[in-house]
């Protein structure tokens, strides 16, 4: 999925990068979710879908935020695995390729910033602090939790998410890892967006993230609502296997 809100200057390049990375796959689809854009992004997305048979578009009539965009794309998807990138083209084309071609090496593919020096200093600091906090609380050694993790689609649909803002991706990943799933990390090259500014690092986003982290730790590590240990998904699952094994996974 390509998430887009007022990305008319960068969207076509982002979609082109994804299509190029998918050429080795027998089956694929690219879903653009336009989150109520007002700058021509919606019309551009429709044009790209008309030009490419494997591109589809979902339009939000009003801006609903990244968590709603993710959910719309996930529910519209039909293929075995699901991930997303931003329409701002901040992830370099070769990194999109690396992420997609790591599918099958573990249950989850978890991207992280392999070139942190390419990001603004305040974003690096916030990322480091948040990541270290989660690692300390949950005992994992991950580099990043907010990236475009690749999930088996049927699994992603079943992960409960309470945070409907910026932190939703971290909550999904924490809940998934807490069930014992395996993962592989993939470093990506970050490139500064050429148009517009990122809205990721905002005081309200950081506050809700802190509350969500503490709430998840309380539930998952102190036993309140903690899921029972379960077997991992097979490394290269097919749709039938995913559905069978997931009946044993508990996110309650």
**One domain, residues 67 and 149:** no
As a whole number of angstroms, the distance between CA 66 and CA 63 comes to 9
Alpha carbon distances (Å) from 96 to 1, 24, 42, 127, 145: 12, 13, 23, 20, 17
Q: In this predicted model, what pLDDT tens digit does every residue of 181-220 receive, in sequence order? A: 999 999 999 887 665 555 555 666 666 667 677 777 787 7
Are the beta carbons of 58 and 33 closer than 8 angstroms?
yes
**One domain, residues 140 and 218:** yes
Q: Is the dihedral of CA 91, 95, 97, 99 positive or negative?
A: negative
**One domain, residues 76 and 186:** no
Q: What is the CATH number of the domain that holds 19?
A: 3.90.550.10
**One domain, residues 133 and 62:** no
Domain that holds residue 7: 1-89
The pLDDT value given to residue 106 = 97
The confidence band for 229, taking pLDDT boundaries of 50, 70 and 90, is very low
Percent of the chain at pLDDT above 70? 79
Q: In this predicted model, what pLDDT tens digit does every residue of 106-146 receive, in sequence order? A: 999 999 988 877 777 777 888 888 899 899 988 899 999 99
User: In sequence order, which ranges of 161-230 are alpha helices (DSSP H)?
Assistant: 168-177, 203-221
Going by C-alpha positions, the residue among 53, 49, 51, 16 that lies closest to residue 33 is 49
Q: Does residue 25 register a pLDDT over 70?
A: yes
CA 186 centroid distance within chain: 13
Q: How many domains does the chain have?
A: 2
């Amino acid at each position: 999925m390509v998430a887009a809100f007022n990305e008319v200057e960068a969207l076509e390049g982002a979609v082109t990068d994804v299509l190029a990375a998918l050429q080795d796959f027998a089956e694929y689809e690219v879903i653009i979710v336009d989150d109520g854009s007002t700058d021509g992004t919606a019309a551009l997305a429709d044009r790209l879908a008309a030009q490419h048979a494997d591109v589809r578009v979902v339009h939000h009539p009003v801006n609903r935020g990244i968590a709603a965009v993710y959910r719309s794309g996930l529910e519209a998807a039909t293929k075995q695995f699901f991930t997303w990138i931003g329409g701002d083209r901040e992830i370099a084309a070769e990194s999109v390729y690396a992420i997609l071609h790591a599918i099958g090496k573990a249950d989850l593919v978890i991207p992280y910033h392999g070139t942190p020096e390419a990001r603004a200093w305040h974003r690096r600091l916030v990322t480091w602090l948040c990541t270290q906090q989660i690692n300390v609380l949950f005992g994992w050694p991950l580099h990043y939790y907010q990236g475009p993790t690749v999930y088996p689609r049927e699994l992603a649909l079943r992960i409960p998410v309470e945070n409907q803002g910026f932190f939703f991706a971290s909550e999904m990943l924490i809940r998934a890892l807490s069930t014992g799933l395996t993962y592989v990390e993939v470093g990506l090259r970050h490139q500064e967006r050429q148009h517009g500014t990122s809205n990721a690092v905002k005081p309200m986003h950081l506050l809700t993230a802190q509350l969500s982290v503490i709430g998840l730790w309380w539930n998952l590590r102190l036993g309140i609502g903690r899921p029972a240990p379960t077997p991992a998904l097979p490394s290269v699952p097919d749709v039938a296997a995913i559905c069978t094994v997931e009946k044993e996974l508990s996110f309650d």
